[in-house]
Amino acid sequence: MINFRLKKVYIFFSSVLIFMLHLPFAFSKSNSLSSLSAKRAVEPVETTPAASSFSMNMIYDSLKLNLKGLSESAFTNAIKGYQYLKMKGKIVNDNVISIVDFTRPSCEKRLFVIDIKNCKVLFNTYVAHGQNSGKTFAENFSNRPESFQSSLGFYVTSGTYIGKNGYSLHLEGLERGINDLADERAIVVHGAPYVSEQWIRNTGCLGRSWGCPAVPEELNRPIIDKIKNGSCLFIYSKNNRYLSYSKILNS
């Protein structure tokens, strides 16, 4: 009987000893798991520039912008500059981007206003170039006052006003030596009667402005109201001087 009791006592103390020996390891594993979970909870998901660019390029494919006439090079360069300007805090209204693709003739709809956030084309319409930039195609560009030529590059939209061309939108040129005299030259977005399909039927191309990206009169106000107050406007051409000189595109 005594031996049986001693055996029970021995088994009890052995179990206690084994439990105490394993206890530190159990706490260590628990703490490691807790630390890992906490770390995962607080670590932000990092979006790399490459991933961001990839998602932006998906917009081009999903909206079938190539079928609408927007060249991939115009879109790619526009997005590169948009992201750079957004990072620099130059863009307030980052929901939309406007792209003028001067690789297309003026008889084609070469202005694209794109809702970046919701992946939609808001406007795809005609836009004029300067009278000294060329007739059907815009081929010559200048930042010089009285040149009556279009200026390439990145702009940020500003406020609206009523001028000789009606409801108009101020533009701030962001590229020194390329378009930074836009305000001095009164380069603005406005409506014009020579930006119409009727004009194209009569002459084979749009009429031309004094350098402004003029749009159809019936779309003037809705376009301006959508892009005003701090959005990005990009005017593109396969102009080697611009492409090599632009600090924004080569940043």
What is the per-residue pLDDT for 56?
A: 75
Would you tell me which CATH number, out of the four given (1.10.3720.10, 1.20.210.10, 2.40.440.10, 3.40.1390.10), belongs to the domain 50-245? Answer: 2.40.440.10
Across the range 199-219, mean pLDDT stands at 98
pLDDT band at residue 38 under the 50/70/90 scheme:
very low
| 24 vs 139, more confident | 139
Every domain of the chain and the residues it spans: 50-245
- Given a cut of 70, is residue 23 above it in pLDDT? no
Across the range 113-142, mean pLDDT stands at 97
- Given a cut of 80, is residue 184 above it in pLDDT? yes
pLDDT band at residue 30 under the 50/70/90 scheme:
very low
Across the range 138-144, mean pLDDT stands at 98
What separation in angstroms does the CA of 214 have from each of 68, 131, 153? 20, 12, 16
Across the range 73-94, mean pLDDT stands at 97
What separation in angstroms does the CA of 116 have from each of 100, 164, 210, 214, 217? 16, 32, 30, 23, 25
Across the range 113-135, mean pLDDT stands at 97
What is the per-residue pLDDT for 55?
A: 74
> Nearest CA to 90 among 229, 249, 242?
229
What is the per-residue pLDDT for 197?
A: 97
Share of the chain above pLDDT 90, in %: 76
Q: What is the 8-class DSSP label of residue 45?
A: P
What is the per-residue pLDDT for 29?
A: 41
Report the 10 Å Cβ neighbour count for 105.
16
- Given a cut of 70, is residue 91 above it in pLDDT? yes
- Given a cut of 60, is residue 9 above it in pLDDT? no
Across the range 9-38, mean pLDDT stands at 44
| 99 vs 29, more confident | 99
pLDDT band at residue 52 under the 50/70/90 scheme:
low
Q: What is the mean pLDDT of the chain?
A: 85
